[in-house]
Chain A
Amino acid sequence: MVNITRHNTPGRLIAVEGLDGSGKSTQIYLLKRWLEVENYKVSFTEWNSSFLVKNATKKGKKRQLLTPTTFSLIHCTDFADRYERQIWPLLRAGYIVLADRYIFTAFARDVVRGCDPEWVKNNYSFATLPDIIFYFKIDPEIAVNRILDGRPKLKYHEAGMDLNLSSDPYESFRIFQGKIYEAYDKMANDFDFTIIDATLLVDKQQQIVRQLLREQIDLPAFKIKK
């Protein structure tokens, strides 16, 4: 059994997790704006965005070269690049780091794709646990409808088409998101998710998030000194 431990740096790591359509990106954006405007040392990082690895991932997805194993490893590589060069140095420097999706996204997706949970956990074990994990919990039906209402063109992996759940991308997406929801649910206790009701009004959720942040982090210590 691999253990993932929490860092001992002057920084603080806040992660948001949740289904597509849960509104988590909006919430973390508002959190970031607030902290920036109030002059806190804050930085933001998002899933699947490493400059070094992004092209390989894009190519792999586009040409459907990925298996569950390589899908998992390539995302882990992407994450490692951001972690080693961005997240970890920022924590060392005493920043509040906001992460739009963190290792739990990988745990949920990779396990749903059939990877061994312990293996995936091991692979990400170089990363620290966040100080707070906000999980924007929402019924998958509602989240899926929020996304599908606009009849978007779903990407192959986004819809979970590689899992052969259904030949209809929309149906596949529904089933896939249901499975991701179950995977998040299983993790919620183990990793001590702070659950936010993602069906509340946007500003109500933001109030709750900011309040929790104030309670759990000594914010004045992160003010930029003038």
Chain B
Amino acid sequence: MKFYGKGLPKCKPEELTGKLIVIEGADGSGRSTQIRLLTDWLESSGHATINVGLKRSNLVSTELEQAMQGNTLSPITLSLFYATDFADQLENNIIPALKAGFIVLADRYIYTLMARDNVRGGDPEWLKNIYSAIALIPDAVFYLNVSPRFLIERNFQKQTNLDYWESGMDIRLSRDIFDSFIKFQRKIKNEFSKMQKEYDFAVINGNRSPRAIFMDLQKKIENVLEKKSYAK
């Protein structure tokens, strides 16, 4: 494996024999369902698999969650909090698992974090420099592309209210949370399409049934595991 940039101090990427597979997509795009199906499939085929995702680090997940409940988290602080969370999982979960030959299924990766920061008006180079120095290049990135309208529907199947941050309410796109959600998600989608080429995402049509999406992913991941090109 390789890092995007210089890499973490003292980490030898050539020792990482596992596979890092990233599923990206908005809230309600069906990521967690797919990760569950994929984990079942991979484990039943005999591949040791771990799941990682945003805001799950031992170091700061609770504190970040608490900070997000208040109304005082500014954008640079938010991005750095997430970067700390990411780095902690990278060093303590992702890299050790890859060293042991595991398949790491990442429920989102640095791309969501960069997309959000850009939409919030951050300096794109700044966060890119933070992550490219420390992040490993995944073996595959699948982006579940779902229309914002469809996302709304799915979100309401999960819970009865829209999330403040996923609706971008902090950047005042609209005083109406529904409008704000649609606007924010469109902007995020736009960021993803800008990143697609640079980071070599395979775009997956997420406006389909979970089963259809799963079969699509399964085929592509089989290719990754056989080291073929997964693209399109």
Contacts and interface: CB of A to CB of B under 8 A. Distances in A.
Interface of A: 2, 52-53, 55-56, 59-60, 65-70, 73-74, 76-77, 80-81, 83-85, 114-116, 119, 122-123, 125-126
Looking at chain A's contact residues, the main secondary structure is helix
A74 B60 contact: yes
A53 B81 contact: yes
B129 A77 contact: no
B72 A68 contact: no
A189 to B, nearest CB: 24
Contact of A116 (B6, B58, B75): B6
B9 A114 contact: yes
Contact of A119 (B58, B73, B76, B133): B133
B37 to A, nearest CB: 32
Q: Which of A77, A80, A83, A125: most chain B Cβ within 10 A?
A: A77
A69 B9 contact: yes
Contact of A77 (B62, B72, B84, B91): B84
B80 interface: yes
Contact of B91 (A67, A115, A119, A125): A67
Given A69-B134, A122-B130, A125-B126, A77 B81 contact: yes
Looking at chain B's contact residues, the main secondary structure is helix
B59 interface: yes
B216 interface: no
Contacts of B40: none
Given A52-B72, A65-B88, A70-B87, A77 B6 contact: no
A126 B130 CA distance: 12
Contact of A80 (B72, B74, B92): B74
Contacts of A70: 59, 84, 87-88, 91
B109 to A, nearest CB: 16
B126 A126 contact: yes
B87 A119 contact: no
A74 B134 CA distance: 15
Contact of A73 (B63, B72, B87, B123): B87
Contacts of B62: 56
A52 B77 contact: yes
Contact of A56 (B63, B72, B75, B83): B63
30 contacts: A52-B67, A52-B73, A52-B77, A53-B67, A55-B63, A56-B59, A56-B60, A59-B59, A59-B63, A60-B59, A65-B58, A65-B92, A69-B134, A70-B84, A73-B83, A73-B84, A74-B60, A77-B81, A83-B76, A84-B75, A84-B76, A84-B77, A85-B72, A114-B10, A119-B129, A122-B129, A122-B130, A123-B126, A123-B129, A123-B130
